Structure formats: structure tokens, C-alpha cells
Structure 1
Amino acid sequence: MTRAIYRITGPDREAFLQGLVTNDVAKLADGIVYAAFLTPQGKYIADFFLIPADDTVLLDIDASIAAPTIQRLSMYRLRADVQIEETALHLHRGSGTPPPDGFADPRHPDMGWRAYRDTPQADDEIDWTALRVAHCIPETGIELTPDTFILEAGFERLSGVDFHKGCYVGQEVTARMKHKTQLRKGLARVHLSGPAKPGTPLTGDGKPAGELHSVAGDQAIAYLRFDRAGNGLMAGDVAVTWEKD
């Protein structure tokens, strides 16, 4: 998917972000940070990468949600000395050891590296969707929607949330889900016994049990109701198996 790269400047930039995003912005001292921006009710608005760049912070976000997200972030600026501008930078991705200007993807080692350059990437033959599915990594607009709670989407496993930082928008709901409840629903990697399309409803012993999202070969990311995801899980007439990680 196309990415938009923004530059956040001003002396209050890190304090501004710290009060809004799910991860600890202080981690920028060590490199790239994956985070989300939530509603006060704890639901997903956007996910993005924050990247240290001299005395600025880059924000790498799916282009389809960039404009409304930046507009909503800007509503919180108030008197903060912060500026947010779109850049002409391009995302480059690859596998293996990051180049000197690259950062290892913090979500999973197999997701390679990300770098931000003045020219577009010439070619990219890596099947990133297959890698995403193999490691149950959600995608903006597919698994991640306005109805998503980030813990159901695996953000703790993906290093996208910090439970020791201070308050941020949506923090109370997220913390309550972490400490007071056991997740009954969420994303999981499943195996398919045959072809099945994204969006196919799942049933467990004939009862609604979730839905398929991203599919790659005989694997898929599914949103599951865990108490119905045991034996007898089906996507239409295709048998589905799920093993807890």
C-alpha cells in the first residue's frame, strides 16, 4: 500500500506525541517506533511508524488515512510549538541487515527494514503480504478498522503499545483490557484446507465464529471469537484450523 511520510518539527514535538500515541516516544532515542492513535473510547484511528530524523520526527502512515489522521492530530496541538508537514520522501523496504539509513521493522524481525529516501524504490520482489500473514501482522484498512481494539489486533506482541508510559488518548480502555479482562476475540493466524476468499464468514459448529481477512496461500489472518474457534471451524465448506501461539 502507498505510504505518506510527514515531518513533525518544533521543540514540543515529542511531548505532543507522547500524550497522543500508544507507544513511548522516548524510545525514539533508540530508533523507529511503531504506534497507534486511538479514540477516547480506545478504538483504532490509525497506526504508523515514528522515525527519528535529526531534530525532527518522521511519521510513516498509510496514505489512505493520512489526511484525516493528520487533521485529527492537529486538533490536539493547542499551544504546543509543533508543525506537521507532508514530505516528498519515499519508503524503501528490504530484508536482511538494514542499510546505514535503514531501521529494522519493530513489529517482527522477518518484516525486514524501512528507509526513507528522496527517490522511489525501483523494485520490490518480496511478498510482504505473505510475510504479514505468516506472522499475523495486521494491515491498515484490512484487519485494522475503526472498530478495532488494538490489543485484539496484537499490538502488544508487535511492540506497538507501552503500558508503563503516561496517559494518552484511549489509554484507560486499553489498560483495562490488558489488566482486567481476558480477550475473547482477536486476530489469529489460521490454516485453510482449501481456497477461501477474504471476507468469508467463519463458523464453529455452525455458530458465527469470525471472518477471514488477509489470505496468502493456505494461511490467513482471521478475526476469531476464541470460544468458538476449536474443532469444526469452517470458512464456507473449507475446514479451518487454529493453533494458539
Structure 2
Amino acid sequence: MIHLPDRTVLRLSGEDARSWFANLVTCDIVHLEPGHGRWGALLTPQGKILFDFLVTEGEDGLYLDTDATLAADFAKRLNFYRLRAKVKVEDLSQAWHVEAALPPATIVPEGALAFPDPRHAELGLRLLVPGPARADDAGIASYHRRRLELGIPEGGKDFRFGEAFPHEVLMDMLAGVDFKKGCFVGQEVVSRMQHRGTARTRIVPVTGSAALPPPGAEIRIGDRPAGTLGSSAGRQGLALLRLDRVEEGLAAGESLTAEGIALAVDKPSWWAGTAATHKATA
């Protein structure tokens, strides 16, 4: 079990909770079943991600695994939308914690809500666990290495909340948006990007010729800005890139770099896109 100290738990309960939440967020909530999860987000009306989360069903409501630093703001925003709906929004930060169990681990603590990580099978189980977490954070580096290798972005690490669209952080590819579910906040913008294919900026895995710079470092193709670096572990990381600009530059023989370090860009095997297949050379 790997404790994820930067994640925490919210609970939505009440007779209207499921239908009310379904009308706000990007993922399918109506057909969510116990033992399963969804990745989703609450957007601005302009279609940008305010909060993202993993959600599963418990006996007494919906349980959300979300960014710990934004949990109070998330709960406040949900209460803003509650109006007269019969819904209770609770911040369980002091009573629950979040863990991950990478394959092949299958042990589930007593009382925990466990479900396969909906973003990728190789991320194993996600566990929402009642009670205090262990004092140590052993294994968290292994979890993030696996996430980076798979090319799975996380909010606050690989993109800034309030600035990124779902397509840019691969929610369209990782089932974070259900385009058949009906209305949700920001739907018109997201649907337009889907149907017009206008998402030019994407998060992709990158490998450096040396250890990568800190998150936020500017990435350039030749002498032009091309994006920013996200989280990394050694030479492996994720980057938010303007793919059309990168592809044109690489085809012209320009180098992709971050603070002088040459980058290679590879799409994950699961990625449905066809851009960013080239590699930069030193």
C-alpha cells in the first residue's frame, strides 16, 4: 500500500447526490457501480478544469479522491451549485486517506473502498481508507515513476487548475469525459473541441538527455516556445506541448530542449493520437 499524502476524500450523500453531481461533471456518474471508479472534472463555464477527481460509490454516497490542497475549495464550489438539491457535501480529510496499490498487489484494508484506477490498469488499485494514514510515505516515488512511464498526468503537477482544457490533459483519451452523457458545466466548449479537432496542445511523455529541470521549465523547439515541463523523475517526465509546433520544428531539423537539455517525445502505446511520434535529438 502506498499512501498518497497529496490526495484526500470528499463524500456526497443524499437522495439527489448522484443525479445532481452527474449534471455538473465531465464523467458518467449515473452508471457508476460499486467497486468501480471514474476519472472526471468540474470545469469552468469556459471549459477549463477547476478540480479533477476519481470517484467511486460507497454504501452511503459517492466518494471523491481529489487534490488535498484544493479539497476545501472543491467542497465550497460544490455547495455553491447545491441550491435546493438534497445533497450533503463533506470534507473527510481528517477521517479518511488515499492509497494506491500497484500491480500485482491485491490486499485491501478493512473498511476501504477499493477500485481499479480508471485511467490505466497498470496503476493498479485505488483505495479510499478510513482512519489515519501511516506516518511514512514509502513507495510514493514508485507510484509516480509508474505514472510517468505510462504517461498519465495529474492536476497540480502536470497542469495548472483553471488553465487547462480536458483535451490538453488527455481526459478525452482516458475516459475522463463522456461525450454522450448530456449536459455538464463547460460542455459546449469541450464538445466543440472534440468535434472540430482543435486540441493542439497535449500532455506527452518526454525523456531527457540528462535529468530534467523542475516543473514549469520552458520547453523550446529551436528558438520558439513550445510548452512547459510537468512532473519528472530523473530523465523521465511529462510535458504540456504545442504539438503542431513541435512536429513542424522536428521535421525541419530543430531540437526540442528544456533549459539546454535535449528532449525525446514518445506517445504512449495506449494513446489514440498520431502527433508527437517524432523524437528530438541532441
Q: Normalising by structure 2, what TM-score? A: 0.81
Q: Do structure 1's residue 130 and structure 2's residue 134 form an aligned pair?
A: no
TM-superposed CA distance for 1:162, in Å, is 0.5
Q: Do structure 1's residue 95 and structure 2's residue 102 form an aligned pair?
A: yes
Letter in 2 for 1:141: G
Q: Select the residue among 198, 201, 216 that pairs with 2:233.
A: 216
Partner of 2:271: none
Partner of 1:158: 174
Structure 1 residues 243 and 114 mapped into 2: Cα distance closer, same or farther (>3 Å)? closer
Equivalent residues of 1:35, 1:160 under 8 A apart: yes
Q: Which 5+ residue runs of structure 1 have no aligned equivalent?
A: none
Letter in 1 for 2:226: A
TM-superposed CA distance for 1:121, in Å, is 4.2
Partner of 1:58: 63
State how 1:199-210 maps to structure 2 within 5 Å.
Answer: 199-210=216-227
Equivalent residues of 1:3, 1:91 under 8 A apart: yes
Q: Do structure 1's residue 148 and structure 2's residue 164 form an aligned pair?
A: yes
Letter in 2 for 1:201: E
Equivalent residues of 1:39, 1:170 under 8 A apart: yes
In structure 2, C-alpha distance between the alignment counterparts of 1:6 and 1:157, rounded to whole Å:
25
State the SS of the aligned residue for 2:183: coil
Q: Which 5+ residue runs of structure 2 have no aligned equivalent?
A: 269-282
In structure 1, C-alpha distance between the alignment counterparts of 2:221 and 2:235, rounded to whole Å:
19
CA deviations 1:7-47 (Å, max 9, x no partner) are 21110000110110100102322521211000000001000
Partner of 2:154: 139
Partner of 2:116: 104
Partner of 1:86: 91
Relative to structure 2, which stretch is displaced further, 222-231 or 103-112?
A: 222-231
Partner of 2:52: 47
TM-superposed CA distance for 1:132, in Å, is 1.7
Equivalent residues of 1:91, 1:120 under 8 A apart: no
Structure 1 residues 157 and 120 mapped into 2: Cα distance closer, same or farther (>3 Å)? farther
State the SS of the aligned residue for 1:67: helix
Structure 1 residues 144 and 237 mapped into 2: Cα distance closer, same or farther (>3 Å)? closer
CA deviations 1:60-92 (Å, max 9, x no partner) are 111111111111111111111001112211222
Q: Do structure 1's residue 242 and structure 2's residue 265 form an aligned pair?
A: yes
TM-superposed CA distance for 1:109, in Å, is 1.1
Letter in 2 for 1:16: W
How many residues of Structure 1 are paired with residues of Structure 2 in the alignment?
Answer: 245
In structure 2, C-alpha distance between the alignment counterparts of 1:3 and 1:237, rounded to whole Å:
33
TM-superposed CA distance for 1:158, in Å, is 2.1
Letter in 1 for 2:99: H
The list of structure 1 runs, each at least 4 consecutive aligned residues, that deviate by more than 6 angstroms after superposition, is: none
Equivalent residues of 1:229, 1:242 under 8 A apart: no
State the SS of the aligned residue for 1:27: coil
CA RMSD of aligned residues (A): 1.7
Once the two structures are aligned, what percentage of the paired residues are identical? 37
Q: Do structure 1's residue 35 and structure 2's residue 32 form an aligned pair?
A: no
In structure 1, C-alpha distance between the alignment counterparts of 2:239 and 2:97, rounded to whole Å:
31
In structure 2, C-alpha distance between the alignment counterparts of 1:74 and 1:158, rounded to whole Å:
28
Equivalent residues of 1:201, 1:208 under 8 A apart: yes
Q: Do structure 1's residue 192 and structure 2's residue 197 form an aligned pair?
A: no
In structure 2, C-alpha distance between the alignment counterparts of 1:75 and 1:150, rounded to whole Å:
22
